[in-house]
């Protein structure tokens, strides 16, 4: 991949996701069970990556679609997944929100618990050297550690970008409300992936099945997700 197609250091958006309970899964489960989970995670990220790299290799059209004016590529580090935008354009902001929605839908639909955060700022992504660093990663990682439901929220750097650029984000992708965080409910913009479902009954069955795999305090993540999405 040529650096001019995907610059190494740039103002850009990132989405950080953490697979919850992964360490316990590794310690307590057969390696085949761990492999099944990682197959789901990698399958979802590879699907996204293949679509994005197709855009990089396509001949430039005279008029590109909005989708083709932005690129977001994934990186998987064990139980952590990072999506990195090509630049800090509004197209990239839309794209990474859409991809985060699809990723949440894909993993939660396969009973893989996940939470995360999206941020914005100067970030280095050198795919040839496998070198990825910058403040947006720290911001997203720190915020994700506070999230107490299955889903993802926007860091204030992303919110400020949206406000400063007067972006009209479609509310079917993004909502703003009091969301469950580690110590209490706090107002944040959060990714809403429900538009990918046919009806509320389907999200009910997706989230409720997580009760079968957890007990005690961890179940609060399920309760909080049900409460946030107002699942009856």
CATH number at residue 89: 3.30.70.1230
Phi-psi group of 123: left, alpha or beta (phi > 0 → left; psi -120 to 50 → alpha; rest → beta): beta
In DSSP terms, 174 is beta-bridged to: 191
Q: Is residue 38 part of a domain?
A: yes
Has residue 1 been placed in a domain? no
Specify if 174 maps to a domain: yes
What is the average per-residue pLDDT within 66-85?
A: 84
Question: Bigger pLDDT: 17 or 197?
Answer: 17
How many helical (H) and strand (E) elements, i.e. helices and strands, does the chain have? 7, 8
Alpha helix segments (H runs only) across the chain: 22-28, 31-57, 90-108, 135-146, 156-164, 200-208, 219-228
Give, to the nearest 10 degrees, the angle between helix 90-108 and helix 31-57: 150
pLDDT over 90, % of the chain: 55
In the numeric block, the tokens 């955060």 are attached to 117
Q: Where are the alpha helices (DSSP H) in 109-173?
A: 135-146, 156-164
Compute the mean pLDDT over every residue in the chain, rounded to the nearest whole number: 86
Examine residue 120 and state whether it is found in any structural domain, yes or no. Answer: yes
Instruction: Specify if 110 maps to a domain.
Output: yes
Q: Does residue 110 contact residue 40 with C-beta atoms inside 8 Å?
A: yes
In a domain, 130, yes or no: yes
- Can you tell me the distance from the alpha carbon of 159 to that of 161, in angstroms, rounded to the nearest whole number? 5
Does residue 204 register a pLDDT over 90? no
Instruction: Report the predicted TM-score, pTM, of the whole model to 2 decimal places.
Output: 0.88
Task: Report the SS3 class of residue 63.
Answer: coil
Of 15-24, 60-69, 82-91, 212-221, the least confident: 60-69
Q: Cα(3)–Cα(1) distance, rounded to whole angstroms? A: 6
Task: State the total domains in the chain.
Answer: 1
User: By residue range, what is the domain housing residue 172?
Assistant: 9-228
Question: Residue 148 and residue 218: Cα distance in Å, rounded?
Answer: 9
Radius of gyration of the chain (CA): 17
* Contact criterion met (CB below 8 Å) for 34 and 52: no
State the pLDDT confidence band at 50, using cuts at 50, 70 and 90. confident
Confidence (pLDDT) at 178: 95
Is 98 inside any structural domain?
Answer: yes
Structural domain includes residue 99 = yes
Q: What is the DSSP string of 215-226?
A: -GGGHHHHHHHH
Q: Residue 79 pLDDT > 80, yes or no?
A: yes
């Amino acid at each position: 991949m040529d650096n001019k197609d995907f610059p190494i250091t740039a103002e850009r958006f990132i989405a950080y996701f953490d697979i919850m309970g992964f360490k316990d899964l590794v310690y307590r489960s057969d390696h085949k069970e761990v492999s099944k989970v990682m197959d789901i995670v990698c399958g979802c990220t590879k699907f996204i990556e293949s679509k994005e790299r197709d855009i990089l290799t396509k001949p430039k059209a005279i008029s590109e679609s909005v989708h083709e004016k932005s690129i977001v590529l994934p990186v998987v580090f064990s139980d952590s997944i990072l999506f990195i935008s090509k630049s800090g354009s509004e197209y990239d902001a839309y794209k990474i929100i859409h991809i985060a929605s699809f990723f949440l839908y894909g993993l939660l639909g396969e009973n893989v618990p996940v939470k995360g955060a999206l941020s914005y700022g100067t970030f280095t992504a050198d795919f040839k050297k496998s070198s990825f660093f910058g403040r947006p990663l720290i911001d997203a990682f720190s915020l994700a550690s506070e999230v107490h439901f299955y889903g993802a929220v926007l860091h204030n750097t992303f919110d400020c970008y949206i406000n400063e650029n007067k972006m009209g984000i479609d509310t079917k992708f993004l909502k703003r409300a009091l969301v469950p965080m580690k110590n209490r409910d706090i107002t944040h913009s959060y990714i809403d992936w429900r538009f990918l479902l046919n009806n509320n009954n389907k999200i009910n069955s997706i989230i409720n099945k997580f009760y079968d795999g957890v007990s005690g305090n961890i179940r609060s993540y399920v309760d909080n997700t049900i409460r946030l999405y107002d699942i009856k």
